Amino acid sequence: MSDLPVLGETQLNLPELESFYRGKVREVYKLKNGRLIVVVTDRISAFDHILPRLIPFKGQVLNLLAAHFLRATRDICPNWLEEIPHANVSIGKYCQPFRIEMVIRGHLSGHAWRVYQSGQRQLCGQHLPEGMKEHDPFPQPIITPATKAEEGHDEDISPEEIIRRKLASTEEYEQLAEYTRRLFERGQQMARERGLILVDAKYEFGFIDGKIHLIDELHTPDSARYFYAEGFEKRQAKGLPQKQLSKEFVREWLMANGFQGLEGQLMPEMPNSLVQEISQRYIELYEQLTGKTFQPELNLDLSQLRC
């Protein structure tokens, strides 16, 4: 894996640069003309911490998958994306973001399961039925929003609290919820066609010219969870782990090695075998979801990027 090119950080020399933001994975260059250049690096995060190793081709998979789904859902909701000049780069319109993430869950998995396992039966104002097992489907998908923290952990929040704190108006929240449900339904349909189950997903939205747009990524392994459809019900009936394509297995590895991002915990050292497995899983998900062979871009020199 050491011979493969990886993209850690960028420092683009852009004469029209207005501001720059470095997130956990993405680097966002805002230009004076209202356009955004978003570079998706090979960094990987979990439990709101950036892991110490770079994952070859992860950024390209995320960027190209996001573009695939953004283009396939423009009939549901307008979005920010305009062009992909490089496999790691997206260019589009700047939108004033809502400070919330719209999380929608079709199954009792991940964070929702950990909440349920603790004995709680309410999540973001949503009732969680009794008698459920991990990964069981909900009768209907539930929306469980989270605050979008500048630093530290995002926090669960109810629709009522969102409106009370003026993170969105009642009308805006209703529109966000409607877009969330329709995007998730389309994502589920596209996943089924490729032999997968879209388990849960998170969406971010913003305003441009007074109109709500979908921003950031869509239905990537960093923003969504997938199970293989074949054998799902049998594994569920037997209480066996589900075969999944998502970042959850990275979180599970960290937890198994004593790390959940809590104070005083040390980040475990990631072996080369794990880095290789993560890279291969990202590529597998790209190919499974798109039906295309992943063609890596090996030239990671972005100094000649023009926009």
In a domain, 161, yes or no: yes
Q: Coil, helix or strand for 291?
A: coil
Measure CA 175 to chain center.
21
pLDDT tens per residue, range 195-224: 999 999 999 999 999 999 999 999 998 899
Q: Where are the beta strands (DSSP E) in the chain?
A: 17-22, 26-31, 35-40, 45-46, 49-50, 81-86, 89-93, 96-97, 100-107, 122-123, 126-127, 137-143, 146-147, 196-208, 211-215, 224-228, 244-245
In a domain, 33, yes or no: no
**pLDDT average, residue stretch 264-269:** 92
Task: In whole angstroms, give the CA distance from residue 214 to residue 212.
Answer: 7
pLDDT tens per residue, range 1-40: 558 899 999 999 898 999 999 999 999 999 999 999 999 9
In a domain, 63, yes or no: no
In a domain, 276, yes or no: no
Domain count, the chain: 1
Q: Residue 174: give the domain boundaries.
A: 98-245
Q: What is the pLDDT of residue 269?
A: 92
What's the whole-model pTM score? 0.89
In a domain, 207, yes or no: yes
Q: State the CATH number of the domain containing residue 104.
A: 3.30.470.20
Q: What is the pLDDT of residue 15?
A: 87
In a domain, 222, yes or no: yes
**pLDDT average, residue stretch 65-71:** 97
In a domain, 126, yes or no: yes
Q: What is the pLDDT of residue 153?
A: 61
Question: What H or E segment, with its residue span, contains residue 219?
Answer: none
pLDDT tens per residue, range 174-195: 999 999 999 999 999 999 999 9
Q: What is the pLDDT of residue 244?
A: 84
Q: How many alpha carbons fall within 13 Å on the CB side of residue 95?
A: 23
Task: In whole angstroms, give the CA distance from residue 42 to residue 23.
Answer: 12
**pLDDT average, residue stretch 263-287:** 92
pLDDT tens per residue, range 242-254: 988 777 789 889 9
In a domain, 59, yes or no: no
